[in-house]
């Protein structure tokens, strides 16, 4: 008799909790939230592709931003529909650890942007999500355009004629905004000169001019992230 009462009570509690959870869930809101998060994720995808200025572009990372936006929205939709489920998700997500290294600092901005948009879409704050997306995207594009002209580069030149160093320096000074010596190394009979330069209007043709100078065996211009060890 007691076992029967306990079984009925447990069944009633289960059905009651299930029905309450289902009643608090809106299929229309879920479809709208996931749909808007997908569109905003595509917008983030576009902005990342246009503003990328790193060494190696990762299409998989960019695609993950779209899915990250949608998955975050899905989690928030579940959390807002059931208090018990929200506590379980907090406990489950607290043990998750991500070990992937972030190569570019700006990638962290895109990750937080995708998560924030997903939270807003999942919480039903669609107007705020739609307002924030073009504002953040426009600022990122603006900063990427400015970075094209102010981003530092390393000019690496190898030569075996001592007189070539002065010509190289003068030619570089005429075509860059700023020039600073980073390293000068002697490798056998050759000298390797490393200069930090700030390009003037993105001009790079002077590198070819330097490579054709007498005594110059190698000339290269590489992106420089600010970290250097001689």
pLDDT digit string, tens, across residues 72-122:
888 888 777 665 555 556 555 555 565 666 777 788 889 899 999 998 998
What counts of helices (H) and strands (E) characterise the chain? 8, 4
167 and 219 belong to one structural domain:
yes
Domain boundary residue, one of 97, 114, 149: 149
Looking at the structure of the chain, the number of domains it has is: 2
From 149, 175, 192, give the residue that closes a domain.
149
Measured between alpha carbons, how far is 182 from 202 in angstroms, rounded to an integer? 21
State both tokens at 60. Answer: 């998989």
Q: Which two tokens stand for residue 7?
A: 């079984």
Instruction: Tell whether 230 is covered by a domain.
Output: no
Would you tell me how many other CB atoms lie within 10 Å of the CB of residue 9?
10
Question: Are 60 and 171 contained in the same domain?
Answer: no
Quote the CA–CA distance of 159 and 161 in Å, as a whole number: 6
Question: Domain limits at 190?
Answer: 151-223
Q: What is the pLDDT of residue 99?
A: 64
Give the three-class secondary structure for 144.
helix
111, 130, 149 - which closes a domain: 149
User: Is the residue at 175 inside a domain?
Assistant: yes
Report the C-alpha gap between 112 and 22 in whole angstroms.
Answer: 31
Q: Are residues 23 and 116 in the same domain?
A: yes
Beta bridge partners of 216: 159
Does a structural domain hold residue 124? yes
Statement to judge: residues 138 and 26 lie in one domain: yes
pLDDT tens digits, one per residue of 181-205: 888 888 777 888 888 887 766 567 7
Residues 107 and 181 in one domain: no
Considering only 24-33, 166-175, 198-207, 219-228, which range has the smallest mean pLDDT? 219-228
- Rounded to 10 degrees, the C-alpha dihedral 141/146/151/157 comes to 110
């Amino acid at each position: 008799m007691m076992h029967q009462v306990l079984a009925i009570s447990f069944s009633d509690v289960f059905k009651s909790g299930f029905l309450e959870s289902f009643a608090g869930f809106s299929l229309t809101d879920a479809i709208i939230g996931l749909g808007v998060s997908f569109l905003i994720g595509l917008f983030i995808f576009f902005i990342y592709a246009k503003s990328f200025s790193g060494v190696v572009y990762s299409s998989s990372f960019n695609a993950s931003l779209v899915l990250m936006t949608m998955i975050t929205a899905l989690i928030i939709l579940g959390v807002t529909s059931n208090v018990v489920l929200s506590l379980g998700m907090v406990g489950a997500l607290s043990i998750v650890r991500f070990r992937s290294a972030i190569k570019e600092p700006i990638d962290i901005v895109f990750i937080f942007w995708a998560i924030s948009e997903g939270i807003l879409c999942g919480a039903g704050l669609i107007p705020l999500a739609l307002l924030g997306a073009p504002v953040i995207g426009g600022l990122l594009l603006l900063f990427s355009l400015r970075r094209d002209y102010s981003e530092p580069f390393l000019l690496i030149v190898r030569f075996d004629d001592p007189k070539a160093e002065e010509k190289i320096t003068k030619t570089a000074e005429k075509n860059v905004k700023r020039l600073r010596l980073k390293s000068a190394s002697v490798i056998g009979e050759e000298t390797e000169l490393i200069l930090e330069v700030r390009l003037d209007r993105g001009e790079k043709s002077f590198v070819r001019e330097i490579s054709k100078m007498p005594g110059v065996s190698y000339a290269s211009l590489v992106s420089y992230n600010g970290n250097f060890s001689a």
